[in-house]
Every structure is written in C-alpha cells, then in structure tokens.
Amino acid sequence: MGKRIVIIGGVAAGPKAACRVKRIMPEAEVTLIDQDNLISYGGCGIPYYVSGDVSDEKELRSTSFHMLRDEYFFEKAKGVKTLTSTRALSINRRDKTVELENVKTGVKSLIPYDTLMLATGSKPVVLPIPGRDADGVFTISDLHKAIEIKERIARGEVGKAVVIGGGAIGIEMAEALTDLWGVETTIVEYMDQLLPRIVDWPMAEALAKHLRDHKVEVYLGEAATEIVEQNGKAVGIRTGKRMLEADMVIMAVGVRPRSQLARDAGLHVSEIGAIVVNERMQTSDPSIYAAGDCIEIRHLVTGKGFFAPLGSLANKEGRVAADNMAGIPSVFKGGIGSFIMKAFDMSIGATGLSLEAAKAQGYEADVSLTAPSDRAHFFPGSEILCLGLVFDRRTRKILGLQGIGPMNDALSVRIDAAAVAISAGAAIDVLANMEMAYAPPFSTAIDAINAAAYVAENLCDGRMRQIDLRSFFAWMADFSSRPEWIALDVRHVKQAQPFVEKYGREKWISIPYDEVRDRYRELPQDKTLIIICNAGSRSFEIQVFLDAMDRKNTLVMPGGFNLVRRMDAGLVA
Amino acid sequence: MGKRIVIIGGVAAGPKAACRVKRIMPEAEVTLIDQDNLISYGGCGIPYYVSGDVSDEKELRSTSFHMLRDEYFFEKAKGVKTLTSTRALSINRRDKTVELENVKTGVKSLIPYDTLMLATGSKPVVLPIPGRDADGVFTISDLHKAIEIKERIARGEVGKAVVIGGGAIGIEMAEALTDLWGVETTIVEYMDQLLPRIVDWPMAEALAKHLRDHKVEVYLGEAATEIVEQNGKAVGIRTGKRMLEADMVIMAVGVRPRSQLARDAGLHVSEIGAIVVNERMQTSDPSIYAAGDCIEIRHLVTGKGFFAPLGSLANKEGRVAADNMAGIPSVFKGGIGSFIMKAFDMSIGATGLSLEAAKAQGYEADVSLTAPSDRAHFFPGSEILCLGLVFDRRTRKILGLQGIGPMNDALSVRIDAAAVAISAGAAIDVLANMEMAYAPPFSTAIDAINAAAYVAENLCDGRMRQIDLRSFFAWMADFSSRPEWIALDVRHVKQAQPFVEKYGREKWISIPYDEVRDRYRELPQDKTLIIICNAGSRSFEIQVFLDAMDRKNTLVMPGGFNLVRRMDAGLVA
C-alpha cells in the first residue's frame, strides 16, 4: 500500500493538493475530508451567484468542462477518497491519527495518516453586538448561506438590506443586492474609508462615490452597535449615528483563520491564530502540512508574516504542499496580496502596500497619482485609469500599486505587471522602462504604468512637488483654511472659466498651458499656486517651468480633474 | 546662453526627448528638426485612421487634451524651437554643426550643436520587383501616405487590394480595408505563416483562420514576384502561384533603420544599418545620441543586438537619451519585443522569443501550450485564451510568451506580466506561484499564466509528454502517415462520438475522463495513444494515470480542442 495522505478541508487548497499529490504519487492513498456536503466551490463567485450573474450554485462547483466536483468526481476522475459531512475532531500526532465524526450519524472513527494536511480555511468574524443571532443576519461563510440569501431575496422578503463592512465581500454583496434585485442597500463601515488597509483614501473615495451614484448608500466612520430585532427577526441596525431599517443584515467584517484543530494539536500558530508554515508549507510538525486561509505566509515586501485569505493563493499553496508531500522540493516564497474587484461599472484593485500601510511599516513612502488613458486616447472607447504607485523614497523600491478604472481588464494589466515587479523587488526605474505590449486598441505608447513610474521618479528626484488630496479637498470646502493658496488652472479656458466664475479670481486663476510661458508674470508672487490640469502632467510641466523662472511656490494637484472629478461630485463648477 | 541641443527626427523618440530635456534643463536651447511638415503623430494608429475608427488624422497628432502637436505647440507649450520641412543633409562632427536644407525653398543653412540627437526613424522596405513604382502601390511610411490611401478608398477607387507581407502592419491594414470599407483584400506572405519570427505556427494558424473567417484571403509561402500595371497604374500582383487583381497594393514587408546620416558621419552602425548606442543612448561619438527606430538595442533574453522598431520603445529610449543629455545618468537596458495587435474579434500578442527563435538561438527550448478561460468559467462572457509559454529546459528560464485571445485586454494582462518576469530573468517556477489579482469577473483562481507555468514545469520535470501540433494535423490529414497512432478522446461522449463515427474506432476511441480509471484495460496496448480533451489538462491527468498503470505509450495533445478548433475548421466531425 502507498503512503497514506489525509487532507482536512475541501474547498480550495485541500482539493487542489489532493488531486496534485495523487497525480504525482499515484500509488498514494489520498483521503479528502470536509465537514460540509458541498465541496470544491468557487467561494469568490458567491456574490455573482447571489446577483444572478451565475444562475445555479452548481456552476460554482463545476469544472470548466461542466462536471460537478462532488464525491463521485474526486473518487472516479481524480482517484481521491472523499469523505464529506465528516468533521475532524482532533489530531493524535504521536499515533498519527485523526479522530473523525460523521456529522449526520454522529459515528466516530479514527483515520491513520503518514502525512496530514490542514486546509481548514477561515471563518467570518461575527461582531459581538446584540442581535447578531437574529433571523436575517448572515455572514458569507459557505454556499448554504449564499443559497439561503438568494432564496430569501427571490421570494421577495428583502426590501432593504444593510451590509456591515466596506471590504471587498461587503461591496460585492451590496452590488449583487442592488443591481439585479433592486434591494435598497446600505454599507456601514467602521473606518473612515472603504477597503481600509487595501487602498488609500483617494481611490476609496472614488469607489464610495461610484457606489452612491449606483444607489448604494455608504456610511463611513460608523460602527454598527446593535442589530435591532422583532420577534427574533432582524429589522434594522443601529450605528452610533442612526438607525437603519433592514430585512437582511450581512456581516462582512473580515475572516479569521480556522485553526482550532491545529492549536489543540499543539502546532505553532501566530498571534491572530494563523498556522505557521515554512516555505514548503510544513507546520511545526514535519508530518503535517497546511495551506489556504488557515495559514500565515510571508509578505514579499515587508518580509513579515501575512494573513492573506485569497482563493488565488490557497490554490498555489495547496499545490506546493502537494509537491512536498510527494517529495518534490517546491517552495512558496510568499505573497503580496494582489487584489481586484468589480463595483458596478468600475474596477478597483491593488497589490503590495498602500501608502498608509507602507508608512506604518516605516518606509519613507510616497505615492505617484496619475490618471492617464487606458488605451490610445484616439482609439474609440478609451477610458481613464487612475493609478497610485507607492514607492520608498530612500531605496526607490516599488512598494505597491493601486487603482480604479473602467470595468474591463485595463487595471488588471497594470496590477499584475506591478505585482511581478514588486515580487522581484524592483525599483521604480525598472517600471519606467518596462516594455508593455503596445497597440492603440490595448494601451498607450507610454503605458500607464510607465507614466506612473515617471512621476514617481520626478517625485523621488525632487523635480515635482505635489499637494496632498485630503488637504486639497479641505481647502475646497473652506478656502479660509489656507488663505495663502490659489488655484492655477492650466486647462483650456472653456474648462477653467466656470471655476473662475464660481470661486472668483482671488481663488482660481485661469492661464492655459500653452500661454504660461508668455504670461507667467501675471501670477501672484505672494501665493502658493495649486496647479491644476486634467491628468497632472501639464501641471508638472508648468511647475518645472515656473521653478526655472524662480517661482517655486507651487504644488501640483496629482491626477488632475480626471481623478478628483471621480472623488467628489461637488467639484463641478 | 544654455547648451544647444539639436534633435533630428520629429515623430516619437525625437519629440519625447526634446520635451523632456527642455523640462530638466530649462536653460537649454532645444531645436527639433523634421523633413516632414506633420510631426509627433501616433504612427501605430494609422490602420485605425484608414479604417475610420479614428475619423481625422489630426487625432493622431493631438494630445489627450485635444491640442494639436504642431510647431506652435512645441514652441509655446514646450519651449522647443521646431523646424519642420527641414532636412538634415550632413553632420560635421569636428565643428559640431549640421547642414540643413529647407525642403520647400531649397535654402541651406548650418545649425551648431553642443549635443546632437538622431531620431531619424525607419523606412519601409520596398521589394525590388517590377511595377513597384506604379500608381496605387503604397508603403505605410508616413501620415501623407495614410491620408492618400484613405482618400482613394473613400472615393470608391479601391474594390480589391493586395497586402504584401503578413506582419502586424499588413494584417492591421487588411482588417482596416475589409472591415469598414468592404475592400476585397488578400494578404500574400512569403514565409509559411503569418507573423513570422514573432509567434509560432499554432498561433499564426489560428490567426490565419480568423482572418479567412472574416473574408481576408491569406496566401502563405508565396512570394510577390511582380506588380502588374496598366498605363502606369497597378492592377494586380503576380506570385509564383497565381495572379491577384488589385486596385491598390500595400507593401508591408518590414522596415529598415534610416541611418544614412549617421553612417555618412562615420558613426558606428550595425550590419543591418542600425545605429549602435550604449545604455545611455550615446553613439560612438559621445556628443551624439540616438533613439527610436534608427537604433539597435540589447535583447534582454539573448543579450544580443536587437532591431525593435516599436513606438513603445522609441518613447522610452528618447526619454533616457534626454536624461543623459541633461546630465541625469538614466540607463536603458534593452527590450524583449513585447507585441500585441487586434485582428477583428481576436487579440494576438507575444513577448520574448518564439519557440523557433529560441531554438535558433541555441536554447533547449520547449513550449507549454494551454487554452484556459480568461476569467472564471462560470462568469458570463468568459472566453478561451490560448497561450504558448516558451522556456529553456536546461535553465528553466522563461524565454517568451505568446497567445491568442478574445478582443479584450485578457491577453495583454498575461503578455505584460510575463514581460516583467522575462525582463527579470525569471524561471518558470516563479510564474507558477506568481500572485495575479483574482476575482471572477477578471481572472481565475489559478490564473492562465500560472497554469501555463504548471504545464511547463510538468514538461520540464518529465511528467508530461506532448505531441507536436504540426504532426497531429499531418496525421489527421493522412492517417496512414502514422499507422501506430490512435486518438483517445476523454471528453464527454456527446463530444467524442461524432469523431468516433467519422474516423472509425480504429482511429478514434472514446472513454470519458471519469471512466478511464475503470476502463483503461480496454485500450489497445500496441498503439500510441494521442490523448485529447478540451484544454489539455484532463489529457495530462490521464497520461499520468496511464503511466502509473504502465501504459506509457501516450502523448497529450496540448491545448486540446480549445486550441486546435481555432486552427482548422476541418477538425469538426
């Protein structure tokens, strides 16, 4: 008989590892165990199942060749023994056995292993607030919950919903509820921005505006303090500031590693409870491997431990675990948290560190904000892509890239290219000359990512000085907060004039880009000029010119109107 | 007075360098010279101007903020003195002067320089065949030619056209003529495939089929031997095999560096006439820089000299030249020829080396051919992306990636990510675990590029053996050529049965994927099994299983029907 390999957890890392190890080591006896009866599903597809884009939950459990990934599939097609509805109760590391319980019959049994793998995943955080157990309160923990959510909506039981949590899952669920079903949906986020720690404020603000434009209400900086119930059923939530009616409450406030089994067995787990593994996905017990949402990996930028519960990583970790269980010395070096999501007509994504995260990690971090075309501006259908390239001024290393763009793959192109560069420890100068494939229907001769690196170089080398956008918006809201500032709008007169008329010449000056060389003497010398254009590049050119003319009291508004217009509807004259 | 910088050539590298150097060194006196009166245009946009996607040629010469990049623009907005319709006749390196001629008046003059930059570009090759000077024969050399082509078509003078050359420009022009204008268009290519040296045969074959499906006739392996003329006007072309009628003949058989000026000045040029520069874009005369289509760069994979006349590179080279002219020590390390193009509803692209090019360079090269979904297969609108990842079996280094896909950015995502990895000298194992941003509307949990690397690993490590697709098609055309081969179709019976019926059980066996473990004993032992599925992955699994059962006489058909279906319409039962 071959080696006995037991894998606990049947969603992503587990099935991937089971199939791979059986392929490499066909003589092994591989057993896949899950407490659920539905396994190997695309959990990231749940919002699209709820929205109706995916009509049947079975599609989330099927292969690309339309075969259901059930027990039969794993046994027959993959040669993997599959025990569903079976819970692992405990691990006996000395005897190398796992105690199992059939959750339907209650019958217990022992399964011996030569090598064990834990792929126990993560569980959603449930806020410890009153009403959390009321009927109508959901977390997005598994397919059963998703099916129940969809059935309630389809039965017409949900007119209003509140999503607690402005992370990716919360936002995707809000879109799903609103877009197809017309449920009046509100997102309540405790932090003062959406996608906290993932993107920085400007991108989050553009996302919030886009959601609001699509009838999703967004309340930031508000904690849900109570779920209000009537007869055991949720009817709303209370925040510090208001009461919101809701027939359904979705709690999407993050996930935690599911690691009790590992902890009970005395395996090394991190402070937040993630199983600690080495590059070969081995736990502190060399006979036990772990992969997926239950583990901690190394962050390739910071070098520190990193909890990254992402389906993309789970599969790769599972494959590396399988290789090593079968004697192939593959390694998994770590991750950087590459992320992308759809939000109505917009894509938003990030990889590596945000500016805020980078500063918190001690980097001398700065950000290049740009807003160029995603493809040749003369090509029909080109759209604006806003990018934030985070870098370290000391080492010039790229730390992260984030962006918002149209709902196509234009943002993916740049996020993924940057991810490869960041994983390799590249500097901004590498990205400046990176050869991105160019043809007008796809990109620009100077690609958006090249342009982002150019601006980063100009910032690093002290050729460009920019204004912080929060400060800019604060000033726009209250000019008296910074009486020494004045806007120099270098766009076409037709674009600038309405602003001059609205705010007055003492706040907003219009001199078109091509006239500044002749007319710069008209500019006030006692003011700080905030130079404004569409994308930031003309502003930079004017700043450099004015520097040469010894008018150095200027700041560029990075990303220009292309960016700030997406952030605040009020900024229209 | 500041440093005198003279730049010859005003299309891409020249204007980029002129503006950048003026920005960094505002005191410099920068002069941009071009023999044409139209400058700084997006030459890669010409096919889209001809097709009508871009209605006015001025759009190709405008900034994203709709300002025409003419002499006024460069002088007023950029501070660059601009001499158009001015030809540079010769360089006097000792006196540091360039002799100029006004092409309208014939007046000659001398312009002195401290630093000179050559951005003289490339010129289209004209085949030395009879009739090449006939009216109606065009090369795509500049905007004037493009305007004339479009005017002739718009006047209804062109019913039939022949494009000589199956490279990117030829194909784009063929689409432009066919798609909007309904011109009956034929491409004649001397080599036995389209895009020779850029992609390998399977991708080129899929492209040829797609063009034919869109009414572009494609003749491969045929040389144009004569342009037939009547009364000085082209009426057709003759190849070795046929006569083709044409009211217009477009010669798109490549370009050569325009370097006579450099050569006459005694600067170092390569065998094919490209100006040789160092990483700072300096020619053999340290006071003379060069950038763009007229130079040779270093190929980042082979380390050898590389003529890469691409707009994307020209701009980057121009910027690096500008930095160095202004004293900033930027370097341009080289390129890998990243390429993408639209062909009707298809995108086709490549970066690095093709399999054929890699073998010619002495690599122990192999290719992983895959055909996965571009995004989650359950997400509406997902499509098949076919990738060919070229790698070196000896070092495991990635040498190139090529692909065909739907007309969106899905292929760009993978080409650009691979380009970053290849430029960094990465191995296939790096790409296997590369973290690509995942959400169902954008990608798959195991991204197409990860899957391509998985297959490359399996090939490298001897776990997978595949059939060469040319041999497969030869066998399909004549079964007697390989009497020992038999197809094992592991797709669903419904898909396989028509093939069994068409070719007979002695050529085509159907055993579905999930039944092979139980039924493999039915398989003939004296034959080589060509295992066939939709994408290649099930075939690989079956091969591994059969290996374990000691049935090792098998070959996987890589990419499966997803790929070969795109290559040959005849392969339908």
**E strand or H helix at B185:** strand B184-189
A76 and B CB contact within 8 Å: yes
The per-residue b/e assignment along A63-74, b for 16 or more CB within 10 angstroms, e otherwise, is: bbbebebbbebb
Residue A511 near residue A486 (C-beta atoms within 8 A): no
Protein fold of B137-253: FAD/NAD(P)-binding domain (3.50.50)
Dihedral-angle region of residue B201 (phi above 0 means left; psi in -120 to 50 means alpha; beta otherwise):
alpha
- The nearest alpha carbon in chain A to B19 belongs to A541
Residues of B in contact with A545 (CB under 8 A): 23, 26, 79
CATH 3.50.50.60: which residues of chain A? Answer: 4-121+256-325, 137-253, 339-460
Cβ <8 Å between A423 and B440: no
CB A138 within 8 A of CB A249: yes
pLDDT at B141: 84
Class of domain B4-122+256-325: alpha beta
CA dihedral A202, A206, A209, A214 (to 10 degrees): -160
Residues of chain A positioned with their CB less than 8 A from the CB of B428: none
The token duo for B28 is 């410099």
- Which two three-digit tokens encode residue A81? 């023994």
A461-481 as b/e: b if 16+ CB within 10 A: eebbbbbebeebbebbeebee
Instruction: Specify which residues B290 forms β-bridges with.
Output: B118
CA distance A44 to chain B (A): 7
pLDDT for B180 equals 84
- Residues A487, A492, A498, A503, Cα dihedral to 10°: 10
Counts for chain B of helices (H) and strands (E), in that order: 18, 30
Cβ-based neighbours of B260, under 8 Å, separated by 6 or more: none
State phi, psi for A35 to the nearest 5 degrees.
-75, -20
Chain A residue whose CA is closest to B548: A26
Fold of the A469-567 domain = Oxidized Rhodanese; domain 1 (3.40.250)
Per-10-residue mean pLDDT of chain A, 573 residues long, equals 93 97 96 96 93 94 93 96 98 98 98 98 97 97 93 96 97 95 97 96 97 97 97 97 98 97 98 97 98 97 96 96 97 97 98 98 98 96 97 98 98 98 96 96 97 98 96 93 96 96 95 96 96 96 96 97 85 63
d(C-alpha A184, C-alpha A162), whole Å: 8
Secondary structure (DSSP) of A431-453 = HHT------TTT--SS-HHHHHH
The catalytically annotated residue of B19, B44, B386, B533 is B44
CATH of domain A4-121+256-325: 3.50.50.60
Respond yes or no: is residue A533 known to be catalytic. no
Q: Determine contact: A60 vs chain B, CB below 8 A.
A: yes
- Residue numbers in B near A333 (CB within 8 A): 433
Token look-up 């957890």 returns A9
Angle between helices B13-24 and A537-548 in degrees, nearest 10: 40
DSSP strand E in A407-493: where?
Answer: 485-489
- Distances in Å between the Cα of A27 and the Cα atoms of A83, A355, A425, B531, B538 are 19, 50, 41, 22, 19
Residues of each domain in chain B carrying CATH 3.40.250.10: 469-567
**pLDDT value at residue B568:** 72
Judging contacts by C-beta atoms under 8 Å, the chain B residues touching residue A538 are 65
Instruction: Verify whether the Cβ–Cβ distance B420 to A409 is below 8 Å.
Output: no
Which residues 386-415 on chain A approach chain B with CB closer than 8 angstroms? 407-410, 412-413, 415
Residues A537 and A512: beta-carbon distance below 8 Å: no
> Hey, what's the torsion of the CAs at B516, B517, B521, B526, to 10 degrees?
60
Residues of chain B with CATH 3.50.50.60: 4-122+256-325, 137-253, 341-460
Distance from CA of A254 to the nearest CA of B (A): 17
Residues of A in contact with B535 (CB under 8 A): 64-65
| Edge-to-edge order in the sheet of strand B108-112 | B86-92, B97-102, B108-112
- Among A79, A412, A435, select the one facing B442 at the smallest CB separation: A412
Portion of chain B with pLDDT greater than 70, in percent: 99
Which residue, among A328, A350, A325, has the nearest Cα to A338 in the 3D structure? Answer: A350
Measured distance between the N- and C-terminal CA atoms of chain B, rounded to whole angstroms: 78
**Which region holds residue A420: left if phi is over 0, alpha if psi is between -120 and 50, else beta?**
alpha
Is A445 in Cβ contact with B42 (below 8 Å)? yes
Q: Which CATH number fits domain B341-460: 3.40.640.10, 3.50.50.60, 3.30.160.60, 3.10.310.10?
A: 3.50.50.60
Residue A200 has a CB neighbour count (10 Å cut-off) of 25
Q: Which helix (H) or strand (E) holds B537?
A: helix B537-548
Name the pairing type of β-strands B97-102 and B108-112. Answer: antiparallel
Handedness of CA A287, A290, A294, A299 (dihedral sign): positive
Instruction: Look at B514 and A77 and tell me if their CB atoms are within 8 Å.
Output: yes
Q: Is the CB of B312 inside 8 Å of chain A's CB atoms?
A: yes
d(CA B371, CA B557): 11
Tell whether B26 is within 8 A of chain A (Cβ): yes
Dihedral angle sign, alpha carbons of residues B169, B173, B175, B176: positive
Question: How high is the pLDDT of residue B570?
Answer: 61
Residue A153 half-sphere exposure toward CB, CA atoms < 13 A? 29
Residue B482 identity (one-letter amino acid): R
Q: What is the pLDDT of residues B543-565, one digit of tens each?
A: 999 999 999 999 999 999 999 99
DSSP state of A39: -
Check CB contact of B461 with chain A, cutoff 8 Å: yes
Q: Does residue B519 belong to the interface with chain A, where contact is any CB pair within 8 Å?
A: no
Token output for B81: 């003195």
Structure tokens at B459: 């090939």
CB contact under 8 A, B338 and A436: yes
Task: List CB contacts (< 8 A) between B415 and chain A.
Answer: 437
Report the run of H or E that residue A231 belongs to, with start and end: none
Asked whether the beta carbons of residue A544 and residue B441 sit closer than 8 angstroms, the reply is no
Q: Model pTM?
A: 0.96
Which residue ranges of chain B lie beneath pLDDT 50? none
CATH class of domain segment(s) A339-460: alpha beta
Three-state secondary-structure class, residue B470? helix
